[in-house]
Chains A and B, each alone.
Chain A
Amino acid sequence: MASVTYDHVVKRYTADITVVKDFNVEIKDKEFMVLVGPSGCGKSTALRMLAGLEAITEGQIRIGDRVVNNVAAKDRDIAMVFQSYALYPHMSVYDNMAFPLQMQRMKKDEIDKRVKNASRILGLDNFLKRKPRALSGGQRQRVALGRAIVRSPKVFLLDEPLSNLDAKLRGQTRIELQKLHRDLETTFIYVTHDQVEAMTMGDRIAIMNAGILQQVGTPGDIYDHPANLFVAGFIGSPTMNFVPASVQNGTAKASGFEVKLPKPIDAAKGTLGFRPEAVTDRIVDGGTAMEMKVDVVERLGSDQFLYGQVGSDQVTARVDPRLSVQPGDKVRLGLDTRTLHFFDAESEQALL
């Protein structure tokens, strides 16, 4: 069993610097879990505590049923792929992959078997004798993966492995990683700041901000039902529209429009949230109309986004790509209220 449990885990450097605060999450065996959040949110620290590279200030981390707080990194049966790959520059690809097994005092033929196996899976057969500096970025990353695979660990830890690759390679590698996860049938814990990677790769996502876990759930869950303002704004591109509004008699009043709330909520003012795809050029029955003065038009071929002012607020709308709009035009847009969110002014929690 290779589940991973973070139980009230805290990482504190000094009295005023707490990098990870009361982190609780249970990662299932064979799951692909993505830890995502902006730089400095504590996700890497959380990963490194699991790896054994950082000491745990409070709480417990369990791999399976085993508490690993005081277990040395090499005895935790985990493997880690670093952002910079951390390949030994003076060793060949073969030796890089063989090194962890040599540390385990494995027999030579067993080592050879495992290295050749991993090399086959990753397509490195022709590069075994080369040194890292003679490899491209993508190849180096595969060697780093290979070094992790040969150990047959219980958990794979990946710390932003795609951030050093160019955009095209990143897309390809994302797909390869997902395939690898399926083939290896092992728990993957993946850290990234890129919400696209999180949404596409994770079975579940854990979003962090400033050391606090914001929400855990499947990509779909998080997209449709963000728990707070931060999650709503972090996931989804272009970003969700946020418009301050006051509530009176079940109606939310924003500066440029009004909308009847589908459910009564217990707040006098807060922030209305709605995704760009909810604001279109079609007025839906039961929806609300608004007028936008367009500032910028973005045509992407398959989509068209309008950025402009509604009342005194900035709003992004997703309209039919065949619509002809110029900057400066005034357009009538319709808001679909079935996917409306409302966030409390103080707690920023979702009330809708």
Chain B
Amino acid sequence: MSVAAAARTESTALRFSPRWITDRLGGFVLHVAVIGLTVAWVVPTLGLLVTSFRLPADIANSGWWTALAPPYKFTLDNYSQMLQASNLGTGFFNSFMISIPATIIPVTIAAFAAYSFAWMKFPGRDWIFLALVGLLAVPLQLTFIPVTTVFVKLGLTPQHLTSLGLPPFIPLWLAHAGYGLPFSIYLLSNFFRALPSDLFESAEIDGAGTLTVFFRIVLPLSVPALASLVIFQFLWVWNDLLVALIYVGGTASVAPVTVSLVNLVGSYGQNYQLLTAAAFFSMIVPLVVFLSLQRYFVRGILAGSVKG
């Protein structure tokens, strides 16, 4: 960070939103507004969290906020029941089995392609790039039937793959890779292109070949962008419901945690309390990833729209 930029972020005296907000409303009102809005934003999630620790009868008869006043009736039953009775445990593991490869594959392939788009010349490069990014417009539902038809013909179904001793998630990995590539390539290309060209010229004079430049210069310098992309893609795949439903189906042994959850949603009324615990359980991994790596997540979004 340049000295000037560092000075700017440290200077609390210079703010960019109008001073009249504090002048007119007064510091107190401002804080009330900020905290009030934040609390309002957190309330929905809080409601779910509290409900997940309540007894079924209570959930059906009174609002969650009543649990915050005595008598305090909390229980861990919902969580233990969910883990034992439902398939969320397996679903949890399946989600990892799905998300990790479905992140590694597109990010790696996108890095190769983005490097080529950013620093190699070839005929039709700009048009192909534009078409690639344009594919962001394609609604995924458009692609399901044609692809699954072909997959069935090729034997790329979970059942068939399991019978061959191969992981049943291969079609899902490939699908997520294909779907995730337009955004990944867009993000990485923009970043690669912004690298100073004289770095590459200097490396050329120094005698570095394409592979050396890619692995020893471009990749190390792109760690922030790559980290953001990995987080983005991971969260997107982990939270995905539809693509998993289509390519791997709803069978308990292969379903990720989102599918297991939505199966529970279908039968609400009886399972409301399980639902809340299950929803929270499904949120653990994304929340942990998000909270610990928030910096990179935000930077990823900014790299996509405004360079922070």
| Interface of A toward B, CB cutoff 8 Å | 51-53, 73-75, 78-80, 82-84, 86, 88-90, 99-100, 103-104, 147
Contact = CB atoms under 8 A, between A and B. Distances in A.
Contacts of B201: 51, 53, 80, 82, 86
B198 interface: yes
A84 B195 CA distance: 13
Interface SS of B by simple majority: helix
Interface stretch (B36-44, B204-212, B257-265): B204-212
A86 B212 contact: no
Contacts, number: 49
Nearest to B197: A86
B204 A86 contact: no
B147 interface: no
B62 interface: no
Interface residues of B, number: 15
Contact of B202 (A86, A89, A90): A86
B196 interface: yes
A74 B206 contact: yes
B198 A84 contact: yes
A100 B217 CA distance: 13
B25 interface: no
Contacts of A147: 202, 206
B221 A80 contact: no
Task: Identify the 10 closest CB pairs spanning chains A and B, nearest first.
Answer: A74-B207, A103-B207, A100-B206, A86-B198, A86-B202, A82-B198, A90-B220, A73-B205, A103-B206, A73-B204
Nearest to B200: A86
Given A74-B205, A84-B196, A99-B208, 20 more contacts: A51-B201, A52-B204, A52-B205, A53-B201, A53-B204, A74-B207, A79-B205, A80-B201, A80-B205, A82-B201, A82-B202, A84-B198, A86-B201, A88-B199, A90-B221, A99-B203, A99-B206, A100-B205, A100-B207, A103-B206
A75 B204 CA distance: 10
A79 B205 CA distance: 7
A45 B221 CA distance: 28
A103 B201 CA distance: 14
Contacts of A80: 201-202, 205
